[in-house]
A and B are shown apart, each in its own frame.
Chain A
């Protein structure tokens, strides 16, 4: 069965430093991978997705993610963190079973950026 794992419950980084939020996946076929962000008391916002093509995917708010097939990873990165990036980040993979396009989410990583 498809799954994603986010090994870190929380990531702390100082403002201005680069940040990485980790995600690994397990799929039987081609992975369709997504990152979403959830700000306090708000719904999920789409950041970026990998379907095919370049391994480095650029998304909203200066975020990017690198697809690594050999390591089955899809880590989210940003060169310089902002305090406003503090939020809950979810990695997700599209379920390959059946015709449903449902997403299978990781458990989330809380990013805390200190000023």
Chain B
């Protein structure tokens, strides 16, 4: 059974600081996704990582994937308050019944002024 673990689950940081959220998964995967969820809102797709060594950046967020270590990171650079949200990683695996996404528990990020 595929397990996806994120850490930390809660992160409080000051504006201007850098930090990294980690996503570990237990078996081989085909793709890895990062999503953002604001309170009461839907999940917004941030990144799709397709292969080992993939790195994608959008604004102050950068995601990377190491399939050998079964690890993805979401790095936050010079955080701003608008980044406060819950961030989920999700791992895709193709199975005989089709593909499925398995989500981590989410990291609740609060950026303080």
A and B associate in one complex: no
List residues of chain A with CB under 8 Å of any chain B CB.
none
Interface residues of B (CB under 8 A from A): none
